[in-house]
Amino acid sequence: MTTEIHARSELTALGLMSGTSRDGIDAAIIRTDGSSVVNRGPSTTWTYGEEFRRRLSDASLNIGDASGVEAELTALHANVIDKLLEKNQLTYLDIDIIGFHGHTLFHAPEQRETIQIGDGKLLASLTGIPVVNDLRSADVAEGGQGAPLAPAYHWALAKELEKPVAVLNMGGVANVTWIGDSPPNLGDFDTQDQIVPQMLAFDTGPGNALLDDWTARHTGERYDRDGRLAATGNVDADALARLLENPYFSASPPKSLDRDAFSLEPLALLSPADGAATLVAFTTQTVSVAADFLPSPPTRWLVTGGGRHNPEMMSALTQQVGAPVAPVESVGWDGNTLEAEAFAFLAVRSVKGWPNSWLNTTGVPRPCVGGVLHRP
């Protein structure tokens, strides 16, 4: 591979994502020029074991002592890469660049701080492939929210879709990307003195994190499979009202959240089923509140992330937003690995020196090129 990787028009990139749900690692390969998606290749998902998931959760409470978890997390990502390549009869030489999100332990952009563990230098050494990581810090340092970062990829994928459209990622935290009418090629906005019009992105509120935590606490299961627990419960109006009192929801976007920004305390007296039903209502009503900030109503909402597998969540969401709601698979995308694909895309833009975030996606004052490149 040439040392001037940024000079090549198209690159084969492998993206890696460990989300706020702490469920596992998504890996995906794409071919892209950093503006358009030339080809979406193979992907895989690997689930964390319970013991490692616990240590990852503990690391969020003891960030200063996370080096051991970081090394293990990085090694696990290297193992997932190996399995993805082997399964698809590929070699490390077939990959030009890796986009490594790492795992978020702490996110407080108002303090100009965001922490994602994941050793990019070590991963480059283990794989022999250049790695771009630390994709949020530059945005936060310049006054942006550092999230969400996937909108650039949503923009590239949605070129042929009817506009306006909303892409809702329901992971641990939920975020929306609104894309307006007739967007130009993203490549038209690849300098640091330009903004991308007709796009707005921000975190809407909780996604699955609260419901996952509640379900685990009361049933021992990692999540409410098929919405079965919530389906047997009733929404508690008082608890829901307390949850919705958070000033975050009335704040104007762009804005972003930490996974643990909300407490389950308002649900303390509820049954497991009623608590789950109330959390489904909380998540979907915050999306409805967020919709009021969009420049115009979307013609439809495309949902990615784990929340799209929850029938109770999808049904409630449809009622709340008053527009068609469908999983991203309905337009041929893969919701299981969309974020991993996004970080592959962002890595290519990073090595080309092109912005990954703008005023109307993270609130950063000027278009920001994020990421740190590590060569093997």
Q: What residue ranges do the domains of the chain occupy?
A: 5-147+337-374, 151-331
In this predicted structure, what is the pLDDT of residue 3? 44
Beta bridge partners of 326: 302
Residue range 5-147+337-374 in CATH 3.30.420.40: yes
**Do 192 and 367 touch, CB atoms closer than 8 A?**
yes
Q: Which two tokens stand for residue 204?
A: 């809407």
CATH number among 3.90.550.10, 3.90.700.10, 3.30.420.40, 3.30.70.2740, domain 151-331: 3.30.420.40
In this predicted structure, what is the pLDDT of residue 197? 58
First-to-last C-alpha distance (Å) of the chain: 12
**Do 253 and 200 touch, CB atoms closer than 8 A?**
yes
In this predicted structure, what is the pLDDT of residue 136? 96
CA-CA distance, 129 to 219, in Å (whole number)?
42
In this predicted structure, what is the pLDDT of residue 63? 76
Q: What share of the chain is helix, strand, coil (3-state, %, to 5)?
A: 45, 20, 35
Rg (Cα) of the chain, in Å, rounded?
20
User: Does the reported pTM lie above 0.85?
Assistant: yes
How does pLDDT run along the chain (376 residues), one tens digit per residue?
Answer: 434 565 568 999 999 999 777 889 999 999 999 988 989 999 999 999 999 999 888 887 777 778 889 999 999 999 999 999 999 999 999 999 999 999 988 888 889 999 899 999 999 999 999 999 999 999 999 999 999 999 999 999 998 899 999 999 998 899 999 999 754 555 555 665 555 658 999 999 999 999 999 999 999 998 999 999 999 999 999 999 999 999 999 999 989 888 888 999 999 999 999 999 999 999 999 999 999 999 999 999 999 999 999 999 999 999 999 999 999 999 999 999 999 999 999 999 999 999 999 999 999 999 999 999 999 9
Q: How many residues are listed for the chain in this entry?
A: 376
Confirm whether 5-147+337-374 and 151-331 share one CATH topology.
yes
* Residue for token pair 């104007």: 252
In this predicted structure, what is the pLDDT of residue 259? 83
Q: Is 107 helix (H, G, I), strand (E, B) or coil?
A: strand
From 182, 222, 196, 297, select the one nearest 47 (Cα to Cα). Answer: 222
Relative to beta strand 301-304, strand 37-47 is: unpaired
